[in-house]
């Protein structure tokens, strides 16, 4: 499990950088009012943890790399309880999110992990400080 934790921790900054890169490329088009922000709370069956993480890493990286409307899919797990996964998802628009749901990589993730997920809660969020978000991504890329 320690090897997996190290691998996941190494992947997270790379995913953030990919998201930052997308945001910087599209900064002229950035409109916080149009964005869709969501937190996903996922509980994974511990028997499938390694397999689930591998599939999640593949899906989140593909989403950020291939989909212009996916600004961020940032997977994390709780330090004290690694089977408690959290995803910060930021989409350029509701349409970008709907398009994301139709991609082959998302459909593969959803079907391949169905038996692994014990609980799923999707929480729609609203940004409190929309003006600062582009600055966060700029700062991360420096």
pLDDT at 15: 45
Cβ contact 56:85 at 8 Å: yes
Instruction: Give the pLDDT of the chain (142 residues) as one tens digit per residue.
Output: 554 444 444 444 444 444 444 444 444 455 667 899 999 999 999 999 999 999 999 999 999 999 999 999 999 999 999 999 999 999 999 999 999 999 999 999 999 999 999 999 999 999 888 788 778 778 877 7
Q: How far is Cα of residue 127 from the mean position of the Cα atoms in its chain? A: 16
| Measured CA distances, 72 to 13, 14, 119 (Å) | 12, 11, 22
Give the three-state DSSP class for 93: coil
Give the three-state DSSP class for 38: strand
pLDDT at 1: 53
Residue 43, C-beta contacts closer than 8 angstroms, at least 6 positions apart: 83, 84, 85, 117, 118, 119, 120
pLDDT at 133: 77
d(CA 61, CA 112): 16
pLDDT at 134: 77
- What φ, ψ does residue 46 adopt, rounded to 5°? -60, -25
Q: Domains for the chain: give ranges and CATH numbers.
A: 2-140 (3.30.70.100)
């Amino acid at each position: 499990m320690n090897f997996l934790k190290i691998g996941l921790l190494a992947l997270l900054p790379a995913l953030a950088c990919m998201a930052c890169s997308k945001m910087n490329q599209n900064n002229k088009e950035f409109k916080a009012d149009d964005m869709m922000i969501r937190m996903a709370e996922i509980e994974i069956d511990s028997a499938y943890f390694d397999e689930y993480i591998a599939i999640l890493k593949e899906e989140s990286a593909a989403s950020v790399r291939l989909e212009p409307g996916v600004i961020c899919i940032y997977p994390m797990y709780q330090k004290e309880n690694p089977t408690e996964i959290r995803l910060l998802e930021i989409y350029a628009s509701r349409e970008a999110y709907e398009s994301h749901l139709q991609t082959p990589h998302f459909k593969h993730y959803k079907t391949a992990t169905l038996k692994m997920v014990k609980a799923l809660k999707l929480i729609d969020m609203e940004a409190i400080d929309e003006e600062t978000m582009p600055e966060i991504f700029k700062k991360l890329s420096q």
